[in-house]
């Protein structure tokens, strides 16, 4: 498994050689053939980037994250991660994009003065 390198920026998506039906998540898996939803998700924060990941896994739980990482490793896929903010390289082709934008849980522990925040939370949602 390789993580996408900032030194590469591609435009055209590449079809994954792995069988996405083997990837089990409670969220949604999108490919270029998914149409408008794929298009909207691939744009992310930076609308100037016009790259397309091979697939986007819209994860909803920690177990989904584990399953996506294991799937990428097992199938020797490049993995990019989109956390909902300025994740510039999330839309690189030839990658399976782990999209955290649906994971927005915020837990405040007043007694211990700590906050636990999932990866899809944006700064404006914390205020």
| CA trace torsion 61, 46, 32, 104 (10° rounding) | 10
> Alpha carbon of 45 to those of 50, 53, 89: distances in Å?
12, 15, 11
**pLDDT at position 10, please?**
40
Asked if residues 46 and 86 have their Cβ atoms less than 8 Å apart, the reply is: yes
**CA 24 remoteness from chain centre:** 15
What CA–CA distance (Å, rounded) separates 74 from 68?
Answer: 10
Pairing mode of beta strands 95-99, 55-58: parallel
DSSP symbols for 20-43: GGG---SSEEE-GGGTHHHHHHHH
Asked if residues 83 and 44 have their Cβ atoms less than 8 Å apart, the reply is: no
**pLDDT at position 83, please?**
84
**pLDDT at position 13, please?**
58
> Could you state, in chain order, the average pLDDT of each consecutive group of 10 residues for the chain (127 residues)?
45 67 94 88 69 88 96 91 70 82 94 93 83
**pLDDT at position 82, please?**
87
Tell me the pTM: 0.80
């Amino acid at each position: 498994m390789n993580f996408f390198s900032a030194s590469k920026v591609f435009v055209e998506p590449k079809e994954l050689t792995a069988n996405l039906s083997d990837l089990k998540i409670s969220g949604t898996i999108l490919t270029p053939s998914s149409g408008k939803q794929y298009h909207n998700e691939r744009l992310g924060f930076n609308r100037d980037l016009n790259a397309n990941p091979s697939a986007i896994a819209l994860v909803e739980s920690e177990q989904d994250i584990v399953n996506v990482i294991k799937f990428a490793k097992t199938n020797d896929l490049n993995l990019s991660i989109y956390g909902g903010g300025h994740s510039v390289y999330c839309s690189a082709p030839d990658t399976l994009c782990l999209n955290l934008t649906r994971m927005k849980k915020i837990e405040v522990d007043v007694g211990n003065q700590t906050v636990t925040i999932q990866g899809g939370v944006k700064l404006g949602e914390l205020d």
